[in-house]
Structure 1
Amino acid sequence: MEHFVVSARKYRPQTFKDVVGQQAITNTLANAIAHNHLAQALLFTGPRGVGKTTCARILAKMINQDGTQSPDEDFAFNIFELDAASNNSVDDIRNLIDQVRIPPQVGTYKVYIIDEVHMLSTSAFNAFLKTLEEPPKHAIFILATTEKHKIIPTILSRCQIFDFKRITVTDAKDYLKYIAEQEGVNAEEDALQIIAQKADGAMRDALSIYDRVVSFSGNNLTRQAVTENLNVLDYDTYMQVTDLLLDNNIPQLLILFNDILSNGFDGHHFIAGLASHFRDLLVCKDQRTIQLLEVGEQTKAKYFEQSQKTSQQFLLQAIDLANECDLKYKSSRNQRLLVELCLMQIASVTFDGEKKNSSPKIVPPSHFEQPAKSISKEEKSIIRNNEYGQSGTPPKEAQQPSVENRTENDTCAPEATPANQQYFSNEVPNTSDPKIEEAEKEIPEQNKSELSSDETPKSVNPATNTTEKRERVSGLSLASIRKKKELEAQVKDKAPERETVMTGKFTETQLQAAWDDYVHRLKKRGEKILASILETDLPTLKNDNEIHLELPAESMKIDLEKGQHKLMGFLKTRLKNTTISLVIDVNETTAKKFVFTPIEKYNKLKEKNPLLDKLRTTFDLDV
C-alpha cells in the first residue's frame, strides 16, 4: 500500500508565485530579497492556514540560494523551526540564543522560525529582546502567530509586521479546482464552492475537507455528496424555506424545520444561515451589490430569480427577525420554539402586508346607511316564483311565523338569498322613478306608521288580508329614507348657535379669585404640576382684557401653554368676557423668589394669619 500524503503537504507552495491569496505580502518579500532590503526580524500574523509558515520557509530558502544549488535544495541545515507552544520557557530561549552565535556551514543565513510565538512567557520574551534587536549578521528571525495582541509591545516594535488576510472563497475554489485537475477528479463547481465556504478563509482547512470528501465520493465530486458528507445546509434548503415563507405556508414550514433538526442540524446554525440567505437575496436586487455574492454563476442565477419574488421591505424585516432570534438563541430555554416562532413571524410579514386580502368579510355599517334599490311588484312576483315555484306560495315549513311566536332574532334584517341578493347595493334610488312611486303607494297607512321608527319593523302574519304577503323591511326601505331626512333636520335645528361675544367688566381682584379657584380645581383633579406653575406668580390685569403672568423658566411657560386652552375657557366663563387674552413672560431673575429665609417664611404666614404673631409674642417663641 502506497503511502498517502495529504493535499496540504503534497501541494504546499514552493515559491512565492504558488502562494494563494497573499500577493501583496509575497511581492513585498520578493522585492526585499531582490534589493537586499530584508529586515532581520519579521512577524507574520494572521488566521490559521493562510500561509504564514509556508512563506517563512520559502523566504529562508530564497535568501540562501546563490544560483549554484539545485532547485530542490531545501537548506534544511540553515532553517530552525521552534514551536513556542511547547518551548516557552526562559531556558528554551537561552538555548536558542546560544545557537544563534554559530555561523551557518552552508549558505549565507541561518533562519529561525518561531511558530505560535504568542505562547512564550513574559520572562522568555524579555530574555529574547536583546538578541532580537541586535542579532548576528547571519541570523534572521521569523515569528509567526495567530494572536498578535498577546505579544508584548517591546517585541512588536523590533519586528517588521506582515498581516496575512483570509483566503477569499473565489481564490480557494480556484486552487481546489487546480488540485482536482491534477488528481484527475471530476468536481462540480458548486461542490468546490461549498468546500471553500466551509473552510472559512483557511486554505489548509479547505484542502483537508477536500481530501475527506474525495475519500467519500471517489473521483466524481458532486454537490450532493459534499452536503451529505459535511452535513451542511446548502442553498437549496434555504431557497425552499424562503418559498414557503413567501407562500405563508406555516404548517409545511414547521415540518421542513423538523426534518432539518432530524438530520442532525443545529437550530442556531439554521437560523444564522437563513439570515445570511436573506442577505444574499438582498444584495442580488441591485446590480451594484451583486458582486458581493460569493457563489458560482449557476447558483447566482437561482439567487437572482428568487430575489425578484421578494420585496426589499420583506427581506429587511426577515433579516431583523432572524438576527434577533440568533441573539436570543443561547439564552433561551426552549430553543426550538424560539426558531419556530421566528419562522412564523417571518411568514406573517407578507401575509399582513402584501398577501392579505383587503376586502372585508363582514358588511360594514356604512353599507346600511344608504337605501337599497327598490323592488317593483313584478320583480317581487319573479322572486317568489323562483323560490317557491310557479304557484308563488311558500311551503308550510318556509312560511314566516306569526308575530306572537316570532323571537327577537327573527326581526333582524332580511337574509340575502341567491334570488334577491342582487337587489342589495349601495346605490341611492331615484325618487322620480315611476316604479318607486308605485311601490310606495302600495304600502298601507298602517304599515307606514310602523316604519316611522329606526327599530327593525315587525313582520305581518301572511294570513291577514290587509295586503298581500309583506316582505321583511330593513333600514333599506323608502320609509327609512324619509325618517333619515327628518332626523337630519332635527339635528340641524338643535345645532348650537355661534358663540356670543361677552364683554363684561371685571377687576383684578375678581381675576385673582377666579385664578385661585381654577388652581384649586386642578389640585382636586390631580394636576399638581400645572397648579404649581399657576401658583408661581399672581396674574395682573392690563388694558382691561390682557392677563399678564411672569414665570421664572421657559420650561414652565411651555407646560402652561399646553393647558392654556382649558384655563382661558374657565376664565372667560367665570368673568363673562370672551375678549381676554393671556400674555406669559419669562424672567429668570424671579427664580430667587423660591428660596425664602425663615423670617421671610414667617412674614408670609403672618400676612395670611395675623394671629400667628400674637401666638409668637405670647409664648416668647423664636423664628
Structure 2
Amino acid sequence: MSYFSRSPSFHGADAARAPPTAAVPSRRIHKSAARIPENYSLNFIRATYLCFPVSYQVLARKYRPQTFAEIVGQDHVVRTLANAIQTGRIAHAFLFVGPRGIGKTSIARILAKALNCPGGPKVEFDPQDDLCREIAEGRSLDVIEIDGASNNSVDQIRELNDAVRFAPARGQFKIYYIDEVHMLSMGAFNALLKTLEEPPAHAKFIFATTEVHKLPATIISRCQRFDLKRISDADIAKQLQMIAGKEGVEVSAAALRILARNAEGGMRDAESAFDQIISFCGKKIEESDVLTIFGLAGSREVWALAEAIQAGDADLALRRVRELTAQGKDLIRLTQELLRYHRNLLLFIVSPDMARTELDPDEVHHFGTLQPLPTRDLMLAWIDELVHLEERIRFALVKEVLFEITMIRLTEQRQKISLEAVIRHLTGQAPSSPSPSSSSSSSSSPPIQPSAQAPAPNPKPETRNQSELPSPNRKPETANPETSAAESNPWPRVQQNLRKHSSMVLRRAAEAMEFLGTSGSTVRLRVAASATLAQSLASPATRDALNEELRKSFGPSASAGLEISELPPEPAAAPAPAPSEPAFPGLKPEKAEPSSTSAPAPGKPLDKGEFENDPLIRAALEAFSARIVSLKST
C-alpha cells in the first residue's frame, strides 16, 4: 500500500477488520515513512496517529473574541463599527490605536468577518461559517495580514499596490490588515498614499499601531481613527473568572484582582499570566500563589510599609523593606504598589464617595481606620517622592540602596513644614478647609502655636514697592477690645478678599491697610501709601468697591473710615560721574560706600543682629520656637 494512498488495501487478518471505506489523511502521518509494507497490520497505522497529538493552544488564543458581542472593554469602538455596517457607511481605511493586548487584531479580524461573511456585510454572523473560520485561522485568500515590522520596504508596498487591483476570490471585499504599521519606512508610506486615498471599490485597509505619533499625518488623515482604551481591572477579572469556569479551575477573588491589576489594562497579558499560574498551581489558585510566582507584594505587606512611612519610623520602614527583598519581591513593582496605595489614599481624603465606588471595599475599610488622616500637602509630597523613585529605579544599578534612601526621605516628610504653611501662618490666613472625611481628625503636621505676646504682623509680599509699605518701626494703634476681639473680627477675611480683588488699587492697598476698630457702622482703617496710591484710594469708584467688600463681612450698612498718610518720596540718587570725566579735576573717583539700608553686596556676610530684629523674622522665630543657626547671602 502506498503511503499517500487515500484508499489503503488491507491483507490477512486486517482485511476482515478494515472498514468498507477507510481513508488515512496523509498530513497526520509522519513523512519519514515512504511506503508501508503489505505485511504491516492496521495497529501500526493506529500507533502512528497516536504519536502526533494536536499541540496545546494557549488561553489568549483559545478565548480570543470571535464576534462583536465577545469584545471586552471597547464598547465605543464596537458601537461605531456596528452602526457603520448597519447603515452602509463603511470607510475604506480604518486605524486602530492603543497599547498592547487590548483587542486591535481581534477587532480587525471580526470586522473582516462582518464584511466578508455570507450575506454580508452584517453585524450578526455565524463564526463557524467556512469563510469566518478561514479568517480567524489566518488562511483566507481575501484577508491578507501583513506584519509591518518585517514587510516595511518600498518594493513590498509596490507589490501590494499591484495585487490590490485584483478582485477577491470568495468574499465581497479584499481586506489588507497591516499590524504595527508605524514600522513602515517613509518611502513605503509614500508609495501607499495614492492607493490608500483612492482604492478600488473591493479593497479595504485596516491598520493597527501602538505608536500613532510615528505615523505621517497624510496616512492618519486618510483613515478613520479608533483609539482603543485600556481595559478596566473589573472587566479583566470578570473575563478571567469566565475562563476559569470553562477550564474547571477554582480561583479566589483576591488572586483575580492581583492578576487584573498587574496586567495594566491588557487582556492578553492577564490571560497569559493566568495560563502560567494554572500550570504552576493546577486546579486551585490562591492569592499567595500569584504573589509568589510573580514576585508581587500583598496588600497587607504594602499597608504595613505605608503605615511605617506615615508614622515617620525609618527603622521600621527599613525592616519592612528588608523582609520584602528577602522574599524576592520586585522593587519596581513594589514602588508602583506604594504609588497606587498613596494615590488611592489621596482619593479617599479628597472624595470619599468616589473612593467607595472605585476602590476595593477592604482598602476603603483600611483607609477608614487611619486616624488621623494625613494632610493633602503631605500626601502630595509622598506621591512626588515615589514618582521620582519610579523614574530612577528602572535604571539604577543598585536598586536596593536607592529604594531604602527614598524610604528614609518619605519618613522625614512629616517633620517638614511646607513654605505655604509658614506663609499662611505669618500672614494670618486661614488654612484650607479639610475634606469631609478628615474634618474631625486633627492635622498630621506639627501644630503651629503662635506666641501670645507677638503681634500678628501685616503681610509684606516680595513684589511690593518699598515706598508703599508702612514703616516697620511704626506701632499699630491698639484697637478697642470690645469692637475688635479676635474671635469676632472679620477683618482678616476682608483683607484676604481685597488681595484677590479685580481692582489693582485695592490689591496694592490691602497689603498696607491696618484695622483700627469700628465706630458704629464705620470701619476705621489706616493706610500708609505713596502719593499716587493715596490719590487712587480717594476716588469714589475705589471707595465704593471698598465699601462693598466691607459690607460682605461687617454688615449691610458698613462703610470705610479711611485714614491715609502719604509716605515721603524717596530722594533720587545722584548719577555717578563717568570714569572718563571726573566731577573734580585732579581727583580720582572713589567708590561710594553702601548705605546701611541697602541690600548687602554679594558675598558680604549678613549682620545677624540686624537680621534677627526684623519684625517678620522675629515673629517667625517666636512662632516656631526656632533659632538662627547660620546666615547665607545670595
Which residue pairs with 1:445 in the alignment?
A: none
Q: Give me the whole-angstrom Cα distance separating, in 1, the residues matched to 2:104 and 2:111.
A: 11
Q: Give me the whole-angstrom Cα distance separating, in 1, the residues matched to 2:446 and 2:261.
A: 42
Asked whether the equivalents of residues 109 and 140 of structure 1 are also in contact (C-alpha less than 8 Å), the reply is yes
1:18 aligns with 2:32: no
Report the AA paired with residue 166 of structure 1: R
Which residue pairs with 2:115 in the alignment?
A: 63
Which residue pairs with 2:335 in the alignment?
A: 271
Query: 3-state DSSP class of the match of 2:328?
Result: coil
Displacement of 1:607 after TM fit?
A: 10
Query: 3-state DSSP class of the match of 1:605?
Result: coil
Report the AA paired with residue 109 of structure 2: R
Displacement of 1:180 after TM fit?
A: 1.5
1:362-511 equivalences under 5 Å are: none
1:29 aligns with 2:81: yes
Which residue pairs with 2:296 in the alignment?
A: 232
Q: Deviations over 1:368-414 (max 9, x none)?
A: xxxxxxxxxxxxxxxxxxxxxxxxxxxxxxxxxxxxxxxxxxxxxxx
Report the AA paired with residue 141 of structure 2: F
Q: Are residues 333 and 209 of structure 1, via their aligned partners in 2, closer, same or farther at CA, if it must alter by over 3 Å?
A: closer
Which residue pairs with 2:353 in the alignment?
A: 288
Report the AA paired with residue 282 of structure 1: L
Query: 3-state DSSP class of the match of 1:80?
Result: strand
Q: Are residues 332 and 178 of structure 1, via their aligned partners in 2, closer, same or farther at CA, if it must alter by over 3 Å?
A: closer
Which residue pairs with 1:157 in the alignment?
A: 221
Which residue pairs with 2:375 in the alignment?
A: 312
RMSD: 3.5
Which residue pairs with 1:48 in the alignment?
A: 100
Which residue pairs with 2:526 in the alignment?
A: none
Q: Give me the whole-angstrom Cα distance separating, in 2, the residues matched to 1:104 and 1:332.
A: 55
Match of residue 97, structure 1, among 152, 161, 165: 161
Match of residue 230, structure 2, among 161, 166, 181: 166
Q: Are residues 118 and 316 of structure 1, via their aligned partners in 2, closer, same or farther at CA, if it must alter by over 3 Å?
A: closer
Query: Hey, which of these two has a bigger chunk of helix by percent?
Result: 1
Q: Give me the whole-angstrom Cα distance separating, in 2, the residues matched to 1:51 and 1:113.
A: 14
Q: Give me the whole-angstrom Cα distance separating, in 2, the residues matched to 1:236 and 1:198.
A: 17
Which residue pairs with 1:303 in the alignment?
A: 366
Displacement of 1:305 after TM fit?
A: 3.7
Report the AA paired with residue 318 of structure 1: W
- Structure 1 residues without counterparts, runs of 5 or longer: 359-553, 555-580, 610-623
Report the AA paired with residue 288 of structure 2: Q
Asked whether the equivalents of residues 373 and 444 of structure 2 are also in contact (C-alpha less than 8 Å), the reply is no
Q: Give me the whole-angstrom Cα distance separating, in 1, the residues matched to 2:297 and 2:260.
A: 14
Report the AA paired with residue 569 of structure 2: I
User: Greater CA radius of gyration, 1 or 2?
Assistant: 1
Q: How many pairs align? A: 382
Displacement of 1:292 after TM fit?
A: 7.4
Q: Give me the whole-angstrom Cα distance separating, in 1, the residues matched to 2:416 and 2:107.
A: 57
Asked whether the equivalents of residues 281 and 303 of structure 1 are also in contact (C-alpha less than 8 Å), the reply is no
Q: Give me the whole-angstrom Cα distance separating, in 2, the residues matched to 1:357 and 1:79.
A: 68
Q: Deviations over 1:66-108 (max 9, x none)?
A: 4498641215232111111111111211221222111113221
Displacement of 1:61 after TM fit?
A: 0.8
Match of residue 569, structure 2, among 568, 584, 591: 584
Report the AA paired with residue 92 of structure 1: Q
Match of residue 208, structure 1, among 252, 261, 272: 272
TM-score (norm 2): 0.54
Q: Are residues 16 and 585 of structure 1, via their aligned partners in 2, closer, same or farther at CA, if it must alter by over 3 Å?
A: same
Question: Alignment identity in percent?
Answer: 36
1:603-622 equivalences under 5 Å are: 604-606=583-585
Q: Give me the whole-angstrom Cα distance separating, in 1, the residues matched to 2:141 and 2:356.
A: 48
Displacement of 1:234 after TM fit?
A: 2.2
Match of residue 135, structure 1, among 196, 199, 217: 199
Q: Are residues 301 and 29 of structure 1, via their aligned partners in 2, closer, same or farther at CA, if it must alter by over 3 Å?
A: same
Report the AA paired with residue 354 of structure 2: T
Report the AA paired with residue 353 of structure 2: R
Q: Give me the whole-angstrom Cα distance separating, in 2, the residues matched to 1:51 and 1:235.
A: 30
Query: 3-state DSSP class of the match of 1:193?
Result: helix
Asked whether the equivalents of residues 46 and 163 of structure 1 are also in contact (C-alpha less than 8 Å), the reply is yes
Q: Give me the whole-angstrom Cα distance separating, in 1, the residues matched to 2:95 and 2:68.
A: 17
Q: Give me the whole-angstrom Cα distance separating, in 1, the residues matched to 2:290 and 2:266.
A: 18
Query: 3-state DSSP class of the match of 1:284?
Result: helix
1:212-223 equivalences under 5 Å are: 212-223=276-287
Query: 3-state DSSP class of the match of 1:77?
Result: coil
Q: Give me the whole-angstrom Cα distance separating, in 1, the residues matched to 2:210 and 2:445.
A: 53
Q: Are residues 279 and 584 of structure 1, via their aligned partners in 2, closer, same or farther at CA, if it must alter by over 3 Å?
A: same
1:72 aligns with 2:128: yes
Displacement of 1:269 after TM fit?
A: 3.7
Match of residue 113, structure 1, among 172, 177, 192: 177
Q: Give me the whole-angstrom Cα distance separating, in 2, the residues matched to 1:163 and 1:355.
A: 43
Q: Deviations over 1:213-250 (max 9, x none)?
A: 11111121211111111111121111121333455554
Asked whether the equivalents of residues 145 and 178 of structure 2 are also in contact (C-alpha less than 8 Å), the reply is yes
Query: 3-state DSSP class of the match of 2:569?
Result: strand
Report the AA paired with residue 155 of structure 1: I
Match of residue 88, structure 1, among 131, 139, 152: 152
Q: Give me the whole-angstrom Cα distance separating, in 2, the residues matched to 1:65 and 1:172.
A: 29
Displacement of 1:166 after TM fit?
A: 1.1
Which residue pairs with 2:209 in the alignment?
A: 145
Displacement of 1:31 after TM fit?
A: 0.6
Match of residue 245, structure 2, among 181, 184, 198: 181
1:123 aligns with 2:187: yes
Report the AA paired with residue 274 of structure 1: L
Q: Are residues 107 and 323 of structure 1, via their aligned partners in 2, closer, same or farther at CA, if it must alter by over 3 Å?
A: closer
Displacement of 1:177 after TM fit?
A: 1.4
Displacement of 1:49 after TM fit?
A: 1.0
Q: Are residues 55 and 235 of structure 1, via their aligned partners in 2, closer, same or farther at CA, if it must alter by over 3 Å?
A: same
Displacement of 1:290 after TM fit?
A: 0.2
1:546-585 equivalences under 5 Å are: 583-585=568-570
Q: Give me the whole-angstrom Cα distance separating, in 1, the residues matched to 2:366 and 2:586.
A: 85
Q: Deviations over 1:539-580 (max 9, x none)?
A: xxxxxxxxxxxxxxx9xxxxxxxxxxxxxxxxxxxxxxxxxx
Displacement of 1:283 after TM fit?
A: 1.8
Q: Give me the whole-angstrom Cα distance separating, in 2, the residues matched to 1:17 and 1:40.
A: 23
Asked whether the equivalents of residues 284 and 303 of structure 1 are also in contact (C-alpha less than 8 Å), the reply is no
Displacement of 1:175 after TM fit?
A: 1.2
Displacement of 1:329 after TM fit?
A: 4.4
Q: Give me the whole-angstrom Cα distance separating, in 2, the residues matched to 1:12 and 1:172.
A: 13
Q: Are residues 312 and 107 of structure 1, via their aligned partners in 2, closer, same or farther at CA, if it must alter by over 3 Å?
A: same
Displacement of 1:352 after TM fit?
A: 8.6
- Structure 2 residues without counterparts, runs of 5 or longer: 1-52, 418-442, 448-532, 534-565, 589-634
Report the AA paired with residue 49 of structure 1: G
Which residue pairs with 2:61 in the alignment?
A: 9
Query: 3-state DSSP class of the match of 1:584?
Result: coil
Asked whether the equivalents of residues 93 and 223 of structure 2 are also in contact (C-alpha less than 8 Å), the reply is yes
Displacement of 1:60 after TM fit?
A: 0.9
